[in-house]
Protein backbone atom coordinates (compact mmCIF):
# COMPACT_ATOMS: atom_id res chain seq x y z
CA UNK A 1 0.00 0.00 0.00
CA UNK A 2 2.79 2.42 0.85
CA UNK A 3 4.50 1.64 -2.46
CA UNK A 4 1.30 2.29 -4.45
CA UNK A 5 0.78 5.67 -2.81
CA UNK A 6 4.38 6.62 -3.53
CA UNK A 7 4.05 5.74 -7.21
CA UNK A 8 0.78 7.66 -7.48
CA UNK A 9 2.37 10.76 -5.96
CA UNK A 10 5.20 10.63 -8.49
CA UNK A 11 2.75 10.17 -11.35
CA UNK A 12 0.62 13.09 -10.11
CA UNK A 13 3.66 15.37 -9.83
CA UNK A 14 4.72 14.48 -13.36
CA UNK A 15 1.21 15.18 -14.58
CA UNK A 16 1.44 18.72 -13.23
CA UNK A 17 4.82 19.49 -14.81
CA UNK A 18 3.55 20.18 -18.35
CA UNK A 19 0.93 22.52 -16.93
CA UNK A 20 3.61 24.61 -15.19
CA UNK A 21 5.74 24.62 -18.32
CA UNK A 22 2.74 25.67 -20.39
CA UNK A 23 2.00 28.54 -18.00
CA UNK A 24 5.55 29.88 -18.28
CA UNK A 25 5.48 29.46 -22.06
CA UNK A 26 2.76 32.12 -22.32
CA UNK A 27 5.53 34.68 -21.81
CA UNK A 28 7.54 34.13 -24.95
CA UNK A 29 9.72 35.88 -27.51
CA UNK A 30 8.15 35.00 -30.86
CA UNK A 31 10.63 36.95 -32.99
CA UNK A 32 13.56 36.87 -33.49
CA UNK A 33 14.09 33.15 -32.95
CA UNK A 34 17.83 33.11 -32.30
CA UNK A 35 20.61 31.79 -34.49
CA UNK A 36 22.53 33.85 -37.06
CA UNK A 37 21.62 36.80 -39.27
CA UNK A 38 23.21 39.23 -41.70
CA UNK A 39 20.29 41.65 -41.51
CA UNK A 40 20.39 44.64 -39.20
CA UNK A 41 16.63 45.41 -38.95
CA UNK A 42 14.44 42.87 -37.15
CA UNK A 43 10.99 42.72 -35.60
CA UNK A 44 10.83 42.15 -31.86
CA UNK A 45 7.56 40.36 -31.10
CA UNK A 46 6.67 39.08 -27.64
CA UNK A 47 3.57 37.59 -26.08
CA UNK A 48 2.43 37.27 -22.49
CA UNK A 49 -0.42 37.41 -19.98
CA UNK A 50 0.70 40.57 -18.22
CA UNK A 51 -0.33 43.97 -19.51
CA UNK A 52 3.16 45.32 -18.82
CA UNK A 53 6.45 43.58 -19.60
CA UNK A 54 10.08 44.29 -18.82
CA UNK A 55 12.35 44.00 -21.84
CA UNK A 56 16.14 44.01 -21.70
CA UNK A 57 17.96 44.21 -25.01
CA UNK A 58 21.74 44.01 -24.83
CA UNK A 59 21.76 45.51 -21.35
CA UNK A 60 19.31 48.34 -22.03
CA UNK A 61 16.00 47.93 -20.21
CA UNK A 62 12.59 49.40 -20.99
CA UNK A 63 8.93 48.71 -20.28
CA UNK A 64 6.45 47.57 -22.93
CA UNK A 65 2.67 47.59 -22.73
CA UNK A 66 1.07 44.67 -24.54
CA UNK A 67 -1.66 45.30 -27.09
CA UNK A 68 -3.97 42.44 -26.17
CA UNK A 69 -1.38 39.79 -25.44
CA UNK A 70 1.38 40.85 -27.87
CA UNK A 71 3.96 43.60 -28.38
CA UNK A 72 5.76 44.35 -31.65
CA UNK A 73 8.58 46.76 -32.34
CA UNK A 74 11.09 47.26 -35.15
CA UNK A 75 14.64 47.14 -33.79
CA UNK A 76 18.20 47.20 -35.13
CA UNK A 77 20.63 44.40 -34.32
CA UNK A 78 24.03 45.18 -32.85
CA UNK A 79 27.14 43.69 -34.37
CA UNK A 80 28.05 40.41 -32.65
CA UNK A 81 26.08 38.60 -29.96
CA UNK A 82 22.63 39.98 -29.16
CA UNK A 83 20.62 38.97 -26.07
CA UNK A 84 16.96 39.74 -25.40
CA UNK A 85 15.20 38.92 -22.12
CA UNK A 86 11.55 39.58 -21.33
CA UNK A 87 9.80 39.15 -17.98
CA UNK A 88 6.46 39.92 -16.40
CA UNK A 89 6.27 42.78 -13.93
CA UNK A 90 4.57 40.50 -11.37
CA UNK A 91 7.24 40.34 -8.65
CA UNK A 92 5.84 37.25 -6.93
CA UNK A 93 6.23 34.74 -9.75
CA UNK A 94 7.33 36.48 -12.95
CA UNK A 95 7.52 34.32 -16.06
CA UNK A 96 10.36 35.12 -18.46
CA UNK A 97 12.03 34.16 -21.71
CA UNK A 98 15.48 34.80 -23.22
CA UNK A 99 16.92 34.40 -26.71
CA UNK A 100 20.34 35.09 -28.20
CA UNK A 101 21.40 35.54 -31.80
CA UNK A 102 24.56 36.54 -33.64
CA UNK A 103 24.42 39.40 -36.15
CA UNK A 104 27.10 39.78 -38.81
CA UNK A 105 26.26 43.42 -39.53
CA UNK A 106 28.13 46.75 -39.62
CA UNK A 107 28.56 48.39 -36.21
CA UNK A 108 26.43 51.39 -35.23
CA UNK A 109 28.64 54.38 -34.51
CA UNK A 110 26.08 56.27 -32.41
CA UNK A 111 22.84 55.11 -30.81
CA UNK A 112 20.71 57.11 -28.37
CA UNK A 113 17.78 55.45 -26.57
CA UNK A 114 15.03 57.23 -24.62
CA UNK A 115 12.61 55.35 -22.36
CA UNK A 116 10.40 56.39 -19.45
CA UNK A 117 8.37 54.93 -16.60
CA UNK A 118 4.76 56.07 -17.16
CA UNK A 119 1.95 55.15 -19.54
CA UNK A 120 -0.27 57.66 -21.38
CA UNK A 121 2.73 59.98 -21.47
CA UNK A 122 4.44 61.41 -24.55
CA UNK A 123 8.14 62.23 -24.33
CA UNK A 124 10.10 63.13 -27.46
CA UNK A 125 13.77 62.58 -28.17
CA UNK A 126 15.52 65.48 -29.93
CA UNK A 127 19.10 65.30 -31.22
CA UNK A 128 20.81 68.38 -32.65
CA UNK A 129 23.60 67.28 -34.98
CA UNK A 130 26.89 69.16 -35.51
CA UNK A 131 25.56 71.03 -38.57
CA UNK A 132 22.58 72.30 -36.57
CA UNK A 133 19.98 69.88 -37.97
CA UNK A 134 17.46 68.86 -35.31
CA UNK A 135 16.36 65.24 -35.62
CA UNK A 136 13.01 64.56 -33.91
CA UNK A 137 9.56 63.11 -34.67
CA UNK A 138 8.69 66.02 -36.98
CA UNK A 139 11.87 65.60 -39.04
CA UNK A 140 13.15 62.08 -38.30
CA UNK A 141 15.73 61.65 -41.10
CA UNK A 142 18.73 63.96 -41.28
CA UNK A 143 20.66 64.72 -44.51
CA UNK A 144 23.79 63.16 -42.99
CA UNK A 145 22.15 59.83 -42.08
CA UNK A 146 20.74 60.33 -38.60
CA UNK A 147 17.45 58.55 -38.01
CA UNK A 148 14.78 58.57 -35.31
CA UNK A 149 12.87 55.31 -35.56
CA UNK A 150 9.36 55.99 -34.19
CA UNK A 151 7.36 58.57 -32.26
CA UNK A 152 5.95 56.80 -29.19
CA UNK A 153 2.95 58.75 -27.86
CA UNK A 154 1.33 56.24 -25.48
CA UNK A 155 4.03 55.80 -22.85
CA UNK A 156 7.23 53.97 -21.91
CA UNK A 157 9.11 54.26 -25.24
CA UNK A 158 11.66 53.52 -26.40
CA UNK A 159 12.48 56.13 -29.00
CA UNK A 160 15.81 55.36 -30.68
CA UNK A 161 18.14 57.61 -32.67
CA UNK A 162 20.90 56.01 -34.75
CA UNK A 163 23.73 57.31 -36.89
CA UNK A 164 25.82 54.80 -38.83
CA UNK A 165 28.55 57.15 -40.07
CA UNK A 166 28.44 60.34 -38.02
CA UNK A 167 30.32 63.52 -38.78
CA UNK A 168 32.73 64.83 -36.17
CA UNK A 169 31.37 67.34 -33.70
CA UNK A 170 28.83 67.74 -30.91
CA UNK A 171 25.53 65.86 -30.77
CA UNK A 172 23.24 67.62 -28.29
CA UNK A 173 20.48 65.56 -26.67
CA UNK A 174 17.19 67.00 -25.42
CA UNK A 175 13.90 65.58 -24.13
CA UNK A 176 10.65 67.39 -24.80
CA UNK A 177 7.74 66.58 -22.47
CA UNK A 178 4.86 66.80 -24.96
CA UNK A 179 2.15 65.74 -22.52
CA UNK A 180 0.94 63.23 -19.96
CA UNK A 181 1.65 62.43 -16.35
CA UNK A 182 3.79 64.76 -14.28
CA UNK A 183 6.77 63.32 -12.41
CA UNK A 184 7.86 61.02 -15.20
CA UNK A 185 11.37 59.59 -14.92
CA UNK A 186 13.21 59.41 -18.23
CA UNK A 187 16.27 57.28 -18.97
CA UNK A 188 18.63 58.10 -21.82
CA UNK A 189 21.33 55.62 -22.84
CA UNK A 190 24.03 56.60 -25.33
CA UNK A 191 26.10 53.94 -27.07
CA UNK A 192 29.15 54.77 -29.16
CA UNK A 193 30.72 52.18 -31.49
CA UNK A 194 28.16 49.53 -30.56
CA UNK A 195 29.33 45.97 -31.04
CA UNK A 196 33.04 46.78 -31.18
CA UNK A 197 35.97 46.70 -28.76
CA UNK A 198 35.68 50.51 -28.53
CA UNK A 199 32.07 50.50 -27.35
CA UNK A 200 31.26 53.20 -24.78
CA UNK A 201 27.95 53.43 -22.90
CA UNK A 202 26.55 56.17 -20.71
CA UNK A 203 23.19 56.36 -18.93
CA UNK A 204 21.39 59.49 -17.73
CA UNK A 205 18.24 59.62 -15.58
CA UNK A 206 16.10 62.73 -15.36
CA UNK A 207 12.82 63.61 -13.66
CA UNK A 208 10.39 65.59 -15.80
CA UNK A 209 7.83 67.50 -13.76
CA UNK A 210 5.38 69.10 -16.19
CA UNK A 211 4.19 68.97 -19.80
CA UNK A 212 5.57 71.43 -22.36
CA UNK A 213 8.99 71.19 -20.70
CA UNK A 214 12.24 70.74 -22.62
CA UNK A 215 15.23 69.32 -20.75
CA UNK A 216 18.85 69.26 -21.86
CA UNK A 217 20.38 65.82 -21.28
CA UNK A 218 23.97 65.72 -22.49
CA UNK A 219 26.32 66.49 -25.34
CA UNK A 220 28.23 63.71 -27.10
CA UNK A 221 31.50 64.75 -28.74
CA UNK A 222 32.59 62.65 -31.70
CA UNK A 223 35.99 63.06 -33.35
- Per DSSP, the residues of 57-93 read ETTEEEEEE-BTTEEEEEEEPPSEEEEEEEEES-SSS
Of the candidates 206, 199, 217, the residue with the CA atom closest to the CA atom of residue 110? 199
Total domains, the chain:
2
Of 75, 103, 131, the residue at which a domain comes to its end is 103
Q: Are residues 63 and 168 in the same domain?
A: no
Of 103, 137, 153, the residue at which a domain comes to its end is 103
pLDDT 10s digit of each residue in the chain, 223 long?
Answer: 434 445 444 333 343 344 333 344 489 999 999 999 999 999 999 998 878 899 999 999 999 988 778 999 999 999 999 999 999 887 677 889 999 999 999 999 999 999 999 999 999 999 999 999 999 999 999 999 999 998 999 999 999 999 999 999 999 999 999 999 989 999 999 999 999 999 999 999 999 999 999 999 999 999 8
Do the Cβ atoms of 163 and 219 come closer than 8 Å?
A: no
Report the predicted TM-score, pTM, of the whole model to 2 decimal places.
0.85
Q: Are residues 4 and 66 in the same domain?
A: yes
Average pLDDT, the chain: 88
Of 56, 84, 103, the residue at which a domain comes to its end is 103
Amino acid sequence: MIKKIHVFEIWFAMLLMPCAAFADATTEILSPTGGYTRKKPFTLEVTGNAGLMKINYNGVGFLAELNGDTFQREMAAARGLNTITISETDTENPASDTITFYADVPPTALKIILSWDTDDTDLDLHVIEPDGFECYYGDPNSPTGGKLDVDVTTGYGPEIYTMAYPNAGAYKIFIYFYGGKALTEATVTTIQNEGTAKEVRKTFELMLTKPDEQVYVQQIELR
